[in-house]
């Protein structure tokens, strides 16, 4: 298949995606910070895009004690240390078709940092094209990043939100489970080839449709066209653009990928990521489950 330019794919908000070529042309742009976020937290050290900073999804983005994300003061400190200002455009990329990159972008948006983009194709495409990699870790002058307000209400769903949402499914509300078919059916507690742990019960939240997250991308890691994505989510899963949608997976990273697709590529206005996902729901006493 001939590669389509991002602008030719019919996305609702194409400005949230950039090509590998665009990134290569902005490696030294002071208004841009490139950030790598991976499932494999040691991958960055083996080689990364020149001038890219590392965002460790455990050490950098999560609270060290409570199951939650860093607080506004911690976020401002992290931004300062990474040389990111409030007007800096942050371009995320990573391994595994950008699933952790979209997770990092989602967290940034909780804090109102809206100048964010995903490098289409991620690390896989950059490497496949033979583009420059380095092990040099860049240093940038610290910024004076103002402490932001964190707003969880618009793009994040909690367990109590999901419980209220159950009665809305099929009545203006939708729920999408982006895990593997085996996890959705309850046969597995995690993806195939991963330790089967993290939840006491298997299955899915009642009324949730199943579209595994990786079906949204092509073999080279780039996102499918808007037409293909609409067929996937609307034609097969029955979602509607004006639905109130909640996406979930196991811990929220795969569902952030689907959240990005629905919100920015297809233009859904009301879509939230339930980051507690199955490790919360599958352990909760008396939480309803379907198989």
Catalytic site includes residue 131:
no
| Contact between residue 249 and residue 222 where contact means Cβ atoms under 8 Å apart | no
Question: What would the DSSP string read from start to end of 189-231?
Answer: SSSTTS-S-S-SS-SB-TT-EE--GGGGB-TTSPBPPHHHHHI
Q: Which of 79, 157, 205, 249 is catalytic?
A: 249
CA distance 202 to 207: 15
Residue 171: C-alpha distances to residues 51, 158, 234 (Å): 48, 20, 15
Q: In what order do the strands lie in the sheet with 173-177?
A: 156-157, 271-274, 244-248, 173-177, 209-210
| Contact between residue 145 and residue 86 where contact means Cβ atoms under 8 Å apart | yes
Residue whose structure tokens are 């964190």: 150
CA distance 251 to 273: 10
| Contact between residue 177 and residue 204 where contact means Cβ atoms under 8 Å apart | yes
Task: Kindly state the DSSP code that residue 6 receives in the 8-state scheme.
Answer: G
Residue whose structure tokens are 């991976």: 38
| Contact between residue 257 and residue 105 where contact means Cβ atoms under 8 Å apart | no
CA distance 30 to 28: 6
Query: What residues are labeled active site?
Result: 249
């Amino acid at each position: 298949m001939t590669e389509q330019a991002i602008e030719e794919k019919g996305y609702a908000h194409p400005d949230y995606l950039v090509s590998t070529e665009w990134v290569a042309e902005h490696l030294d742009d002071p208004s841009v910070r490139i950030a790598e976020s991976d499932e494999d937290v040691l991958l960055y050290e083996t080689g990364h895009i020149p001038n890219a900073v590392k965002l460790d999804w455990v050490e950098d983005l999560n609270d060290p004690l409570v199951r939650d994300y860093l607080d506004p003061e911690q976020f401002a400190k992290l931004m300062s240390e990474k040389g990111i200002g409030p007007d800096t455009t942050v371009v995320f990329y990573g391994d595994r078709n950008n699933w952790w990159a979209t997770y990092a972008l989602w967290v940034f948006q909780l804090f109102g940092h809206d100048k964010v983009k995903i490098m289409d194709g991620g690390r896989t495409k950059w490497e496949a094209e033979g583009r420059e990699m380095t092990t040099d870790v860049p240093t940038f002058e610290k910024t004076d990043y103002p402490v932001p307000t964190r707003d969880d209400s618009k793009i994040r769903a909690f367990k109590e939100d999901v419980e209220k949402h159950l009665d809305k499914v099929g009545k203006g509300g939708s729920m999408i489970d982006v895990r593997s078919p085996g996890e959705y059916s309850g046969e597995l507690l995690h993806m195939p080839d991963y330790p089967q742990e993290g939840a006491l019960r298997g299955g899915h939240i009642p009324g949730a449709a199943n579209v595994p997250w990786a079906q949204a991308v092509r073999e080279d890691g780039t996102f499918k066209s808007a037409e293909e994505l609409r067929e996937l989510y609307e034609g097969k899963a029955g979602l509607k653009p004006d639905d109130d949608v909640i996406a979930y997976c196991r811990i929220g990273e795969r569902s952030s990928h689907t959240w990005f697709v629905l919100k920015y590529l297809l233009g859904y206005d009301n879509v939230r990521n339930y980051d507690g996902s199955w490790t919360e729901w599958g352990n909760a006493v008396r939480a309803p489950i379907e198989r």
